[in-house]
Chains A and B, each alone.
Chain A
Amino acid sequence: DTGVSQDPRHKITKRGQNVTFRCDPISEHNRLYWYRQTLGQGPEFLTYFQNEAQLEKSRLLSDRFSAERPKGSFSTLEIQRTEQGDSAMYLCASSFGWEGNEQFFGPGTRLTVL
């Protein structure tokens, strides 16, 4: 496998439930990003990891959102007490080296909150 993978691809949940998504980046990539994308919009930055350190977090990210990247490999994004407004595609991307290098995106996890 040479690409970024995300799991699950689709998630349907009821409002108020917690959900967790997983991202497996390309193995040698030290940078990992999470984005959220809604229909007709571009990806919206959520957070960034360099290795295991979370170096950047969007002010748009409420306290209900948390992300981890233990050991600098895979990453998880958890949303607590989901709201209907959280319904979106959640994209993970990874890159290697300097900050301007191309990002490799995964297929995304589509979240639907009922």
Chain B
Amino acid sequence: SQKIEQNSEALNIQEGKTATLTCNYTNYSPAYLQWYRQDPGRGPVFLLLIRENEKEKRKERLKVTFDTTLKQSLFHITASQPADSATYLCAPLYNFNKFYFGSGTKLNVKP
């Protein structure tokens, strides 16, 4: 079965810096990969989607990359703000309709 790995240790950064989160997967590449944000006690909220044939996707301060050779996706938040503090989940889509979520990385942005 597919294994999705995200850094379980929290990422602590200073406000204004760029946060980079990693999502590694095993076996074959997914057709799509989504990134979500989750705040405590709430359901995940969709941020970005990147397709297998795309190298990079941007949305405002967010950027996602997809490297099928390294079997890795990177999620970047530039000019980070304390309001960006949350857990970020990656979710590759493999077979038809089943998403596998990583365990998430908690981001702490300190003012």
Q: Are A103 and B46 in contact (CB under 8 A)?
A: yes
CA–CA, A48 to B95, complex, Å?
Answer: 12
**Cross-chain contact of B96 among A33, A56, A58, A91 (Cβ < 8 A):** A56
Residue in A closest to B30 when the chains form the complex, CB atoms: A100
Q: Are B89 and A102 in contact (CB under 8 A)?
A: no
**Is A25 an interface position by the 8 A CB rule?**
no
Known: A99-B93, A102-B49. Is A45-B100 also a contact (CB below 8 A)?
A: yes
Give the interface of B toward A (CB within 8 A).
Answer: 4, 6, 8, 31-32, 34, 42-46, 49, 51, 89, 91, 93, 96-104
Q: In the complex, how many angstroms separate the beta carbon of A88 from the nearest chain B beta carbon?
A: 13
Residue in A closest to B48 when the chains form the complex, CB atoms: A102
Residues of chain A lying within 8 A (CB to CB) of residue B49: 100, 102
Q: In the complex, how many angstroms separate the beta carbon of B105 from the nearest chain A beta carbon?
A: 10
Residue in B closest to A31 when the chains form the complex, CB atoms: B97
**Is A85 an interface position by the 8 A CB rule?**
no
Q: Are A56 and B101 in contact (CB under 8 A)?
A: no
Q: Are A48 and B98 in contact (CB under 8 A)?
A: yes
Residue in A closest to B42 when the chains form the complex, CB atoms: A107
CA–CA, A80 to B42, complex, Å?
Answer: 25
